[in-house]
């Protein structure tokens, strides 16, 4: 039976709204009168919280169908669930690599596919990528790749859906103070190839924790962009916009040399191109 509010209240589905940015965005949508449905594998199944692992395609589809049947509409979808990882590519266990891709990329893919059949003109798809999806960092190659895939998914769908009235926007936040860093998988293994560079890169990342943007400040910026913004992609954080600017104007190898030296103390071999 459909909820009586289905024709009056807009419905937003957020993956991973139990904590961090997802939770903060959920609070802002509720304050604006939306019905917020949280999909999370760690939440209790009550009210509009749905215990759902976004890496399980069948479960995602069934949960979305349940929400659509209850409310008669899906207006906004925020692909927020993600998984962090750092370490040398060749030494990180493959099951960890797959987990990151499953949550960040396939989770976004499954949720988007399930929701699109219930969305109409005026609908909004939001993909939470990262500045790491735009510019690489050493010993975060897996995470950067996953977020780059999410970025491309969001931008390609913007084109695919251009005649439907459904819009797609991708958000690329910089570093934000959430429990994401504490929960990410950190693998400090090394060998003769890398020496202490793995540990140095990880330590440098952790040392910036206190300088990161607060969740509330980031959520305010993100909410404004996804509700009123017209662009396909937004970077959250002025210094990250500048970093992306450098990435775009500098020769690729020169930029990689600079960034690598700052983040792990070693230049990349090669000729600028």
pLDDT tens profile 156-184: 999 999 999 999 999 999 989 887 777 88
| Rounded percentage of the chain residues whose pLDDT exceeds 90 | 79
Q: Which CATH number fits domain 4-264: 3.90.1300.10, 3.60.40.10, 3.40.50.720, 3.40.50.170?
A: 3.40.50.720
Partnered with residue 185 across adjacent β-strands are 85
Residues sharing a CB contact under 8 Å with residue 178, sequence separation 6 or more, in sequence order: 19, 20, 21, 215
Structure tokens at 228: 């009123």
3 state SS of 124: strand
pLDDT tens profile 66-105: 999 999 999 999 999 999 999 999 999 999 999 999 999 9
- Are 189 and 147 in contact by the 8 Å Cβ rule? The answer is no
User: Is the confidence at residue 2, as pLDDT, over 80?
Assistant: no
What is the reported pLDDT for 93? 96
3 state SS of 60: helix
What is the reported pLDDT for 268? 53
User: Is the confidence at residue 209, as pLDDT, over 80?
Assistant: no
Burial class (CB in 10 A: 0-12, 13-18, 19+), 4: exposed
pLDDT tens profile 235-270: 999 999 999 999 999 999 999 999 988 887 555 554
What is the reported pLDDT for 7? 53
3-state helix, strand, coil in the chain (%, to 5): 50, 15, 35
């Amino acid at each position: 039976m459909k909820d009586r509010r289905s024709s009056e209240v807009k419905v937003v589905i957020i993956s991973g709204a139990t904590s961090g940015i997802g939770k903060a965005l959920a609070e802002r949508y509720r304050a604006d009168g939306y019905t917020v449905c949280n999909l999370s594998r760690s939440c209790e199944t009550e009210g509009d919280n749905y215990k759902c692992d976004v890496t399980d395609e069948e479960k995602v589809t069934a949960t979305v169908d349940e929400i659509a049947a209850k409310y008669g509409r899906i207006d906004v979808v925020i692909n927020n669930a993600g998984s962090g990882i750092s370490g040398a590519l060749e030494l990180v266990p493959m099951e960890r690599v797959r987990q990151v891709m499953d949550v960040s990329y396939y989770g976004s893919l499954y949720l988007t596919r399930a929701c699109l059949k219930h969305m109409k003109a005026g609908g909004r798809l939001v993909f939470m990528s990262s500045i790491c999806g735009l510019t690489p960092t050493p010993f975060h190659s897996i995470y950067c790749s996953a977020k780059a895939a999410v970025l491309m998914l969001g931008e390609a769908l913007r084109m695919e859906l251009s005649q439907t009235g459904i819009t797609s926007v991708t958000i690329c936040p910089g570093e934000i103070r959430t429990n994401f860093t504490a929960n990410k998988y950190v693998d400090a293994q090394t060998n003769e190839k890398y020496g202490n560079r793995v540990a140095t890169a990880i330590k440098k990342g952790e040392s910036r924790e206190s300088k990161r943007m607060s969740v509330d400040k980031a959520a305010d910026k993100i909410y404004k962009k996804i509700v009123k913004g017209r662009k396909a992609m937004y970077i959250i954080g002025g210094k990250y916009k500048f970093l992306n600017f450098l990435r775009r104007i500098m020769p690729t190898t020169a930029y990689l040399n600079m960034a690598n030296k700052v983040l792990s103390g070693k230049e990349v071999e090669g000729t600028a191109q």
